[in-house]
Structure 1
Amino acid sequence: MPQVYVKWGKEKLEVDVDTAQDPLTFKGQLFALTGVAPDRQKVMIKGRVLGDDSWNGLTLTDGLTIMMMGSAEAIPTAPVANSGASDKVNDSGEKILPMPCGLNNLGNTCYMNSVVQSLKTIPELRKSLATFGTVPQNPRANMITAAFKQAVNELERKPDSQFMPHALLMTLHQTFPQFNSRDPRGNLEQQDANECFTELQSLVVDGLDSSRDAPMKVRNFLRGKYQVSLKCAESEEEPVQTTSEDFYQISCFLSQEVKYLQTGIKEKMTEEIVKNSPILGRDAKWQKKALISRLPAYISVQLVRFFYKEDKKINAKIMKDVKFPLVLDLCDICAPELQEKLRPMRDAVKDEQDGILERERRLKLDGKDPKKLRAEVMKDGELLPFSFPDDEGSNNSGFYELQAVITHKGRSSNSGHYVAWVRLEEDKWAMCDDEHVQPITSEDVLRLSGGGDWHTAYVLLYGPRVIRKFPELKDEPTSLGADDTTLPTGAQKPDEPMQTN
């Protein structure tokens, strides 16, 4: 693998080139280093312009100098006036949050836009992207991670605006050709947003974690573990088989009985399968039971709404209403050993609730409105870590807060329209419908549970529930003074424990 020098303006870069890969992969490496998208690069080797498909006629040797031309500036977009929302307040004196930057639809690319807006809500992912810039060993991961970083940087830089993700779309098509399918007229076809979510997340995490400058292993924040046991239902002599499996997403299957997210998740944790029994010498029925042995900080849930309809050759949609909570409790489907480890932080949640209720009571006695003072008074609480000390990126309570939803509107996964709904803070959310972004509330989000032709939740992204520790209050005074207005007044209660049928 020759090491060459790439001269770009005043910069000179050292790059290892794998000529077993096509030149487009090499251009992806240059994209990661310079921010110049492959379609805007002009690479000169010994007086010849390098194409995308073949190295024919070109021999690369150690120390060879290659010239590259191209601008790292973003493709110009139509100017959009900033609303100045960050300087405005509403009638109640509350600051109006600036809306996230929107992503222009480049022709049935709403599936990609909704995925980018959702993944961007993970702080650790953004932090790791900020330091990404070296050349990892995996060229495919390197190329898509660089393009994803560029898109996220533009979104962060332009609140209350919009951005055309040309480079990301082109790189997505090169990395995952299945997303570049077209109809007979040559137009891009709609794609499955969850497939894009899982593929993009997986490869971006590979790129980030293989970077030499990675501040953390992002994979640890997204990977959970199942403890899986197999018990033969037809022979008591057959020993129980136990294995461990990694997961990056859990599924909620929508059977006729499922009306709540928790029920659909739990229903598939135990199932019957058929496999060979060495004792019986034939295939037999086995009970497969999975319990979570490690909870990641962030967990995505796919509501399995689509099934293949043979007669129409489409992935038809299950329209039924399935309720999902703002705060999800997964303790009930954890292994006993993990449940015991979760207990201290779950007790801390109860202490937090007790402290909040008492502060609300005192403020009401003093004639103050706790709701109006919420943002200020919550500062009194100390934020507790959400991971175990010896397991970075884990969840130590079993509680999760909803932070993003990808919805689908339509009748099949390869048609219709996808939208992202992302949490900004407390009860404030944003609906990111491509370039159109508008403020909404958590009540609006809860209406996305399905049951009709409205936007229906398809992928839910949950993050660690914030838990605060409040200092003990002094003996109750007969009247609260002015200094007491900074006391915490409350937080959202966790949803009820997981329901079962």
Structure 2
Amino acid sequence: MEPIPVVVKHQGKKYDVELDPSSTGETFKFQLYSLTGVEPERQKILVKGGQLKDDTDLSKLNVKPGHTFMMMGTPSGDSKGNIERPKEQIRFLEDMTEAEAAQAVGAIPAGLQNLGNTCYMNSTLQTLKAIPELQEELSRYKASGSGSAGPSDLRSFGLGGLGASADLTEALRDLFKQMSETQQGFPPMMFLNALRTAFPQFAQQSRDGRGYAQQDAEEAWSQIVTQLRQKLKTKEGDAGDVSFIDKYMSGKFETHMECDEQAAKDAGEQAIDSEDTFFKLNCHITGEVNHLREGLAAGMVEKIEKNSEVLGRNAVYTKTSRITRLPKYLPVHFMRFDWRRDTGKKAKIMRKVTFPQELDIVEFCSEDHKKLLIPVRDKIREIRKDEEDVERARKRQKRNQAEHERDQQIKSSTSEKEPKQKQAEKEAEKAKASGSGDVEMQDAVYKTDAEFEAERATAIVEAKKQLLALVDGKLLADEACSKTGLYELRGVITHQGATADSGHYTSFVKKECQKDPSTGKRKAEDGKWWWFNDDKVSEVDEDRIETLSGGGQSHSALILLYRAVPIPTKDEIAEAEEKAKSLA
């Protein structure tokens, strides 16, 4: 169904909105959230017969173009959906340049303007920008024949469309730099021109002849990564130039392929063993897949039809893959789009497929690689459990201590009121019942918070030493691989709509925790995420990510970006050991 232009009135303002009649009330509310800052659960949208509900089928409202909706509701807090900077500012914002304000602690990151069906590109770029090592390596990149790594005069003013570079990697370097210096929605004209020059498919016109066609974010991701693999190199000493993508974002499969037919085996056809490189894992979606793990398992075993020389005809082969190298950054692609010949479009598979915040990928590794990963993975889990046990013991002690103090107060109060002879008789009875002649009861001994912290710090240091000792030398030598097989979710690209060449793409990126100015260490994460909806950027809770598993035309995860759970370095362990000694 074609979108219907409607008007929404809220607090004296009018908003022009494209209502998708094939979606639900929940989708419409999230559209208004991005415009007004009012959370969906706080919105009251008046429709005929009452209020708009989340599960309302918008097609049944029979809305005509130009229809006006009345919306009531205010954002939670005073910020109207925006994120306020910390109150303790060293400098007033008025005294900062735009670039300084953009880099201040708590600053909202820059969005990207939609230049005409470019949301697929914007969401891809925001997720790639969540890889700090990529930003760092891009900042050092110099294009072939370029004497300077800085942007041209035109590009430094955001006029990348005028004389833009055809080098996609250079354009990405300049774009990330420009985004780091503003909090406004930035027009990625230079990068868009470079993308369309390198890959003309993204310059395809829409069928109605009005502007450019919508594209698939997964295709944009794959093409950009392919270009970066060719252009972006890191210096590796004696090894020379090594592709950044190969180092940080590529994995290895060992594959085994053999014919399903016994006749081929009887005729002497041998199975084929080989090694493949992958840059993302595919989650196949079938009627039996409900969770990411099941979709990944389906992708590890494939049926392939090809020619059998022994049989002299085509036959079906089974290809089994097992991972032998895991990269630091692991993209996972939900294969939600299926080509339909009858419509000539990529239809969307609406099935709900859940995914975890922490992904354990060990089961998909080869047996040899499992032997390297499992001891380290299990040790990390053991350390986490020990830390939880210590914290529970601390809380339990505080409860017991409070109860003991309360009992002592009650006992003292009662003793003051009772005659001395009666008190002595009670104490004697207690002593007799316990089989002891001791009348005096000893007070319980409780640890202080400082003692708890000292014991905890010492135990953690020892556990981290044991953990590091478990890591195989082969894994330690590979700086940018996963040593544990555990990954934490850092980014999500979503699609809203029914087909790949329609609908809308957005992205969610987990907030990187801020550094403590006094120690230089990053603080604990607060579980918040940035939602990039083109040039609109807002903060959402972790619960919002749980809603992206699909099941309809609302926002469904298309690409997940996972980052390997790190292990402590020798320097970090030495620092922790010094701290433990100071607490003892």
Per the normalisation by structure 1, the TM-score is: 0.68
Q: What is the aligned counterpart of 1:154 among 164, 178, 182? A: 178
Tell whether the 8 Å contact from 1:307 to 1:316 is kept in structure 2 after alignment.
yes
Which structure is higher in helix share?
2
Partner of 2:370: 339
Q: Which secondary structure state, in structure 1, belongs to the residue aligned with residue 492 of structure 2?
A: strand
Tell whether the 8 Å contact from 1:141 to 1:203 is kept in structure 2 after alignment.
no
Q: CA deviation at 1:231?
A: 2.1
Partner of 1:175: 198
Partner of 1:224: 251
**Distance of 1:397 and 1:212 partners within structure 2:** 24
Evaluate the alpha carbon distance shift between residue 168 and residue 351 of structure 1 in structure 2; reply closer, same or farther with a 3 A threshold.
same
Q: Which moved more, 1:112-121 or 1:272-281?
A: 272-281
**Distance of 2:310 and 2:352 partners within structure 1:** 45
Q: Which secondary structure state, in structure 2, belongs to the residue aligned with residue 461 of structure 1?
A: strand
- What letter matches 1:397 in structure 2? T
Q: CA deviation at 1:443?
A: 1.4
Q: What is the aligned counterpart of 1:128 among 132, 137, 143? A: 137
Evaluate the alpha carbon distance shift between residue 438 and residue 276 of structure 1 in structure 2; reply closer, same or farther with a 3 A threshold.
same
Q: CA deviation at 1:392?
A: 2.8
Q: CA deviation at 1:265?
A: 0.9
Q: What is the aligned counterpart of 1:287 among 314, 318, 331? A: 318
**Distance of 1:246 and 1:228 partners within structure 2:** 10
Partner of 1:412: 499
CA distances 1:270-294 after superposition (whole Å, capped 9, x unpaired): 1333334444444433221111111
Tell whether the 8 Å contact from 1:404 to 1:421 is kept in structure 2 after alignment.
yes
Q: CA deviation at 1:151?
A: 1.0
Tell whether the 8 Å contact from 1:85 to 1:96 is kept in structure 2 after alignment.
no
**Distance of 1:432 and 1:301 partners within structure 2:** 19
Q: Which secondary structure state, in structure 1, belongs to the residue aligned with residue 494 of structure 2?
A: strand
Evaluate the alpha carbon distance shift between residue 316 and residue 283 of structure 1 in structure 2; reply closer, same or farther with a 3 A threshold.
closer
**Distance of 1:96 and 1:341 partners within structure 2:** 39
Residues 134-145 of structure 1 mapped to structure 2, 5 A cutoff: 134-135=143-144, 143-145=167-169
**Distance of 1:175 and 1:272 partners within structure 2:** 33
Residues 182-197 of structure 1 mapped to structure 2, 5 A cutoff: 182-183=205-206, 184-197=208-221
Tell whether the 8 Å contact from 2:330 to 2:562 is kept in structure 1 after alignment.
yes
- What letter matches 1:226 in structure 2? F
Tell whether the 8 Å contact from 1:225 to 1:295 is kept in structure 2 after alignment.
yes
Partner of 2:540: 440
For structure 2, the 5+ residue unaligned runs are 1-81, 89-103, 147-163, 400-452, 513-524, 574-578
Residue 274 of structure 2 is aligned to residue 265 of structure 1: no
Partner of 2:86: 87
Partner of 2:101: none
Q: Which moved more, 1:283-292 or 1:242-251?
A: 283-292
Tell whether the 8 Å contact from 2:234 to 2:242 is kept in structure 1 after alignment.
no
Partner of 2:358: 327
Tell whether the 8 Å contact from 1:141 to 1:206 is kept in structure 2 after alignment.
no
**Distance of 2:188 and 2:305 partners within structure 1:** 47
- What letter matches 1:462 in structure 2? Y
Q: Which secondary structure state, in structure 2, belongs to the residue aligned with residue 86 of structure 1?
A: coil
Partner of 1:317: 348
Partner of 2:564: 464
Residue 228 of structure 2 is aligned to residue 204 of structure 1: yes
Q: CA deviation at 1:366?
A: 5.5
Q: Which secondary structure state, in structure 2, belongs to the residue aligned with residue 152 of structure 1?
A: helix
Evaluate the alpha carbon distance shift between residue 336 and residue 136 of structure 1 in structure 2; reply closer, same or farther with a 3 A threshold.
farther
Q: CA deviation at 1:298?
A: 0.9
Q: Which secondary structure state, in structure 1, belongs to the residue aligned with residue 276 of structure 2?
A: strand
Q: Which moved more, 1:114-123 or 1:271-280?
A: 271-280
For structure 1, the 5+ residue unaligned runs are 1-82, 90-94, 369-375, 472-482, 488-501
Q: Which moved more, 1:207-216 or 1:404-413?
A: 207-216
CA distances 1:166-219 after superposition (whole Å, capped 9, x unpaired): 111111111111101113434121111110011012202322117999996412
Partner of 2:186: 163
Q: CA deviation at 1:110?
A: 0.7
**Distance of 2:105 and 2:529 partners within structure 1:** 12
* Aligned Cα root-mean-square deviation (Å): 3.5
Q: CA deviation at 1:156?
A: 1.9
Partner of 2:476: 389
**Distance of 2:178 and 2:124 partners within structure 1:** 15
- What letter matches 2:301 in structure 1? T
Q: What is the aligned counterpart of 1:403 among 478, 490, 493? A: 490
Q: What is the aligned counterpart of 2:128 among 119, 124, 149? A: 119
Evaluate the alpha carbon distance shift between residue 96 and residue 441 of structure 1 in structure 2; reply closer, same or farther with a 3 A threshold.
farther
**Distance of 2:220 and 2:255 partners within structure 1:** 27
Evaluate the alpha carbon distance shift between residue 423 and residue 238 of structure 1 in structure 2; reply closer, same or farther with a 3 A threshold.
same
Partner of 2:16: none
Q: Which secondary structure state, in structure 1, belongs to the residue aligned with residue 373 of structure 2?
A: helix
Q: Which secondary structure state, in structure 2, belongs to the residue aligned with residue 451 of structure 1?
A: coil
Tell whether the 8 Å contact from 1:430 to 1:439 is kept in structure 2 after alignment.
yes
Q: What is the aligned counterpart of 1:430 among 511, 514, 530? A: 530
Task: State the number of aligned residues.
Answer: 379
Residue 456 of structure 2 is aligned to residue 356 of structure 1: no
Partner of 1:303: 334
- What letter matches 1:231 in structure 2? E
Q: CA deviation at 1:232?
A: 2.6
Q: CA deviation at 1:134?
A: 4.4
Evaluate the alpha carbon distance shift between residue 402 and residue 310 of structure 1 in structure 2; reply closer, same or farther with a 3 A threshold.
same
Tell whether the 8 Å contact from 1:133 to 1:211 is kept in structure 2 after alignment.
no
Identity %: 32
Q: Which moved more, 1:108-117 or 1:223-232?
A: 223-232
- What letter matches 1:115 in structure 2? T
Evaluate the alpha carbon distance shift between residue 141 and residue 468 of structure 1 in structure 2; reply closer, same or farther with a 3 A threshold.
farther
Q: CA deviation at 1:106?
A: 1.1
Q: CA deviation at 1:334?
A: 0.6
Per the normalisation by structure 2, the TM-score is: 0.59
Q: Which secondary structure state, in structure 2, belongs to the residue aligned with residue 405 of structure 1?
A: strand
Tell whether the 8 Å contact from 2:137 to 2:234 is kept in structure 1 after alignment.
no
**Distance of 1:367 and 1:100 partners within structure 2:** 42
Tell whether the 8 Å contact from 1:291 to 1:335 is kept in structure 2 after alignment.
yes
Q: CA deviation at 1:350?
A: 2.0
**Distance of 2:398 and 2:215 partners within structure 1:** 55
